[in-house]
Amino acid sequence: MSENIVDKVTQGDYKYGFVTDIETDIIPKGLNEDIVRLISQKKGEPEWLLEYRLKAYRHWCTLKMPDWAHLNIPEIDYQDIYYFAAPKSKPSPKSLDEVDPELLKTFDKLGIPLEEQKQLSGMAVDAVMDSISVKTTYKENLAELGIVFCSFSEAVKDYPDLVKKYLGTAVPYDDNFFAALNSAVFSDGSFVYIPKGVRCPMELSTYFRINAKNTGQFERTLIVADDDSYVSYLEGCTAPVRDESQLHAAIVELVAHDRAEIKYSTVQNWYPGDKDGKGGIYNFVTKRALCKGDSSKVSWTQVETGSAITWKYPSCVLLGDNSVGEFYSVAVTNNYQQADTGTKMIHIGKNTRSHIVSKGISAGRSQNSYRGLVKVTKNADGARNFSQCDSLLLGDKCGAHTFPYMDIKNDTAVVEHEATTSKINEDQIFYCNQRGISNEDAVGLIVNGYAKEVLNKLPMEFAVEAQKLLSVSLEGSVG
Amino acid sequence: MLEIKNLHANINGKEILKGINLTVKPGEVHAIMGPNGSGKSTLSSVLAGNPAYVVTEGEVTFYGKNLLELSPEDRSREGVFLSFQYPVEIPGVSMVNFMRTAVNEHRKYKGLDPMSASDFLKLMREKKELVELDNKLANRSVNEGFSGGEKKRNEIFQMAMLEPRLSILDETDSGLDIDALRIVASGVNKLKSNDNASIVITHYQRLLDYIVPDFVHVLYKGRIVKSAGRELALELEEKGYDWIKKELGE
């Protein structure tokens, strides 16, 4: 019977699967030094950045794709990908009049209006399509406080010293295969700098959209919070429905100085592929925060519902004494999706604390793994960690796995790990049915209840979206 | 309102109900008693549409509609309520959210707009008082960490919220101490009207001291073998179910 209930539901349509018909500036397929030079030239970059890219590219050539994750990754032909695609319109437009109306329409359709007056108050947006940033809103208002919020490309031009100082400090170009690839060919992303003592008065957010065919998206985000500052940052992403898979390999670097706090929230909804596992985004992302200053704090909150393959471990390096790292995650996999995601908490400073809450939800024939490392170095006296990893299964053809690693070199550390695995049972669904609630709504309720602890960490506007997304992603997973 | 004719049902291929006949009219309270394993809970599950059970023969109509053709949620929306013998816990889902979803689904079915948040909270307050449900319980997740008695009280609260036309109380007395039993029964009695009806399923007659039935039926081996007025319950209490078996010549 569980078969019946659990087999029928899974076919919710992907709402964001449309394609924008727009002229695109695209460079030849494939990857070599000339391509790297061409990308750098297209973006009008300074010599030092080109050198950085080339160094990364040469290193990448020596690397092999990692195979340790619990993922079945089809071979990726890196020469069969376009590494740069940009909608043909003026880069860094001064006003909305200069933005192609098709682009505005696209983001409107995604629920991200770029006219400031139409936006949710209290949120500034950087909209990125394929390889370039389309428009950043509220830039001027934020500048009055000394806050820099712009596309990465603009930052390279306007704030070269800041970029030079922090680029690659959290994620060095030789960190891993995908980090090296990104460092060689990265396109656009957001740059944020919060000056000393400033509390950023609005949520900053970047919306990433892949549009062009056979194109990889390699965005790069860098957020620096100076002493005693605070910022909350949101990231959202979608892509059109396409039969062939597309590669997304991003880097996000966060740096928090003394007593600074960064809240980074992601709602990842890249196209997951169809119900037979055809198409979908391959999502290989390196996200890392340096809690550099004393009493600095970084929290990662992620709701992962999209992508055919997800390989992602937002981490915190707790360098400063009394610094705090947090990771709250909900990862949903359905149909043939695969996710291997988790975090690394590296305790180096004294009295550092970390908190991990991971909620995996698997349905269909998907595979969902939590992989987490808690490392306490020799001098990290008084380190504390608490990890909780829960898995929820819908049906009996999916898999949930937990791979916790601990590497403790200091006797004073207190490290705790709790894990549970549960199934949505038919009794719960029938109970909801008996009160007049349909199967799909019942699954939505139950899953949202299960993920509540994480959803509560999201900023309000986002939490509502995320709740809906969770229900939609599992539509069709229960009959 | 409810007409059951020659109802046969099985679970995992095993026949449990072997031809049930029962008619319930508005305003009536029917008690169904019987020894363990006689099919009492199966009958309530089948009426509510639990997919674990398969109906092989017979028919059930509810206000003229073929109940067996309706999904469990539509049966609920038509006004069939089951108070579960073992209410299910749903962690992280608040009672408020759960009930609001349920109430609004019922309203949608009737072509009504969803209730505003303030109207809904007011309704919850009224019904909580009616069934003496602790405020604390209403703020927690559905049945999570509730004691046995609290769960049963919560069932009656949900019944009050949804105002069903037919309530099926499946062993609502099991696991209750005498005080809890009194509160639950008084809730049920307060909700009673000339327009609704109840089927009270119980093993013991003590619940029937509080919820007075108009008819008592004895279910045995998947069939109703004896029906009479309230006095039948007292007789059963005195003589035990062996008496029925003897009467049947076993």
Domain residue limits at A447:
2-473
Q: Which amino acid, one-letter code, is at A390?
A: D
For the whole model, what pTM was predicted? 0.81
Residue-level pLDDT at A279:
80
Q: Give the DSSP H or E segment for A238.
A: strand A230-238
Of B72, B91, B109, the CB nearest to A430: B72
Question: In this complex, do A445 and B97 lie within 8 Å of one another by their Cβ atoms?
Answer: yes
Residue-level pLDDT at A241:
62
pLDDT at A240 over 70: no
Q: Are A303 and A268 in contact (CB under 8 A)?
A: yes
- A145-187 pLDDT, tens digit per residue, is 999 998 898 899 999 999 999 999 999 999 999 999 999 999 8
Question: In this complex, do A426 and B51 lie within 8 Å of one another by their Cβ atoms?
Answer: yes
Q: How many CA atoms lie within 13 A of A373 on its CB side?
A: 13
Tell me what the mean pLDDT of segment A13-39 comes to: 78
Q: Give the DSSP H or E segment for A408.
A: strand A399-408
Backbone phi and psi for residue A217, each to the nearest 5 degrees, phi listed first: -115, 125
A74-88, A400-414, B64-78 — which is least confidently predicted? A74-88
pLDDT at B46 over 50: yes
- A390-410 pLDDT, tens digit per residue, is 999 988 888 899 999 999 999
Domain residue limits at B24:
2-247
A392 touches B at CB < 8 Å? no
Of A434, A439, A449, the CB nearest to B90: A449
Q: How many independent structural domains does chain B possess?
A: 1
- SS3 (DSSP) at A318: strand
Question: In this complex, do A436 and B97 lie within 8 Å of one another by their Cβ atoms?
Answer: no
Q: Which amino acid, one-letter code, is at B206?
A: R
Residue A40 lies inside a defined structural domain of this protein: yes
Task: Specify burial of residue B118 (Cβ count, 10 A radius: 0-12, 13-18, 19+).
Answer: exposed
Which one has a higher pLDDT value, A4 or B170?
B170
Distances in Å between the Cα of A391 and the Cα atoms of A17, A303, A360, A402 are: 29, 14, 5, 8
Residue-level pLDDT at A2:
32
CA distance A265 to A256: 16
Tally of CB atoms within 10 A around A133: 26
What residues of A are in contact with residue B77 (Cβ under 8 Å)? 436
Question: In this complex, do B92 and A449 lie within 8 Å of one another by their Cβ atoms?
Answer: yes
Question: In this complex, do B51 and A5 lie within 8 Å of one another by their Cβ atoms?
Answer: yes
Specify the CATH number for the domain of residue B137.
Answer: 3.40.50.300
Q: Give the DSSP H or E segment for A416.
A: strand A414-423
For chain B, helix, strand, coil in percent to 5 are 40, 30, 30
Q: How many independent structural domains does chain A possess?
A: 1
User: How many CB pairs below 8 A link A and B?
Assistant: 80
Transcribe A345-393 into DSSP letters.
Answer: EEE-STT-EEEEEEEEEE-TT-EEEEEEEEEE-TT-TT-EEEEEEEEEE
- pLDDT band at residue A135, thresholds of 50, 70 and 90? low
Q: How far is CA A314 from the centre of its chain?
A: 8
- pLDDT band at residue A5, thresholds of 50, 70 and 90? very low
Q: What is the ipTM of this complex?
A: 0.96
- B1-11 pLDDT, tens digit per residue, is 999 999 999 99
- Residues 6+ positions from A68 with CB-CB distance below 8 Å: none
Q: Are B15 and B24 in contact (CB under 8 A)?
A: no
Average pLDDT, chain A: 84
Handedness of CA A114, A120, A126, A128 (dihedral sign): negative
Question: In this complex, do B101 and A434 lie within 8 Å of one another by their Cβ atoms?
Answer: no
- Residue of A1, A8, A435 to mutate, testing the B interface (most B Cβ within 10 Å of its Cβ): A435
If you measure CA to CA, which chain B residue comes closest to A456? B92
Of B71, B84, B105, the CB nearest to A431: B84
Residue A478 lies inside a defined structural domain of this protein: no
Tell me what the mean pLDDT of segment B174-192 comes to: 87
- A273-306 pLDDT, tens digit per residue, is 778 878 888 889 999 999 999 999 999 999 888 8
As a dihedral over the C-alpha atoms of residue A26, residue A28, residue A34, residue A38, rounded to 10 degrees, the angle is -10
- SS3 (DSSP) at A423: strand
Highest mean pLDDT among A58-67, A137-146, A288-297: A288-297
Question: In this complex, do B92 and A428 lie within 8 Å of one another by their Cβ atoms?
Answer: no
Residue A16 lies inside a defined structural domain of this protein: yes
Transcribe B30-99 into DSSP letters.
Answer: EEEE--TTSSHHHHHHHHHT-TTEEEEEEEEEETTEEGGGS-HHHHHHHTEEEE-SSPPPEEEEEHHHHH
What residues of B are in contact with residue A438 (Cβ under 8 Å)? 71, 73, 105
Task: Specify burial of residue A378 (Cβ count, 10 A radius: 0-12, 13-18, 19+).
Answer: exposed
Question: In this complex, do B93 and A433 lie within 8 Å of one another by their Cβ atoms?
Answer: no
As a dihedral over the C-alpha atoms of residue A69, residue A70, residue A75, residue A76, rounded to 10 degrees, the angle is -50
| Range A211-230 burial, b when 16+ CB lie within 10 A, else e | bbeebbbbbbbbbbbbbbbb
pLDDT at A447 over 90: no
Strands A280-291 and A309-312 turn out to be parallel
CA distance A479 to A438: 9
pLDDT at B102 over 80: yes
Backbone phi and psi for residue A167, each to the nearest 5 degrees, phi listed first: -60, 125
Residue-level pLDDT at A134:
59
- Residue of B50, B100, B101 to mutate, testing the A interface (most A Cβ within 10 Å of its Cβ): B101
- SS3 (DSSP) at B246: helix
